[in-house]
Amino acid sequence: MLIHIGFGNIVNTSKIIAIVSPDSAPVKRLVQGAKEKGTAIDATQGRKTKSVLVMENSQIVLSALLPETIAGRVHMGQGAEGMEDGSREG
């Protein structure tokens, strides 16, 4: 299943290993290392990074949505059709 992670960006939920806050030093090192290796995908559209998605292929996806918001979308099964305001199509 695909979920919306903000600003029209969508990820495959079956490939997500973890959704973490970017505030801790280990996560900051993880993100910096991924940026240096070219395995970081910045989906923040220039906004502040509020969550880091660790993918099973060792890629890191940066999102401007809170980890709780993304986890809630995964849990509720909100697909890519979900909009920023929480509305759903048909």
pTM (two decimals)? 0.84
Separation of alpha carbons 82 and 21, rounded Å? 22
Taking only the tens place, the pLDDT of each residue in 18-27 is 999 999 999 9
**pLDDT computed for residue 90 by the predictor:** 29
**CA separation for the pair 14, 36 (Å, rounded):** 26
Q: For 17, phi and psi rounded to 5 degrees? A: -95, -45
d(CA 67, CA 88): 20
**pLDDT tens column, 62-84:** 999 999 999 999 988 866 655 44
Q: Parallel, antiparallel, or unpaired for β 9-12 and 2-6? A: antiparallel
Q: Which residue type occupies 81? A: E
What residue segments make up the domains of the chain, in order of their start?
2-76
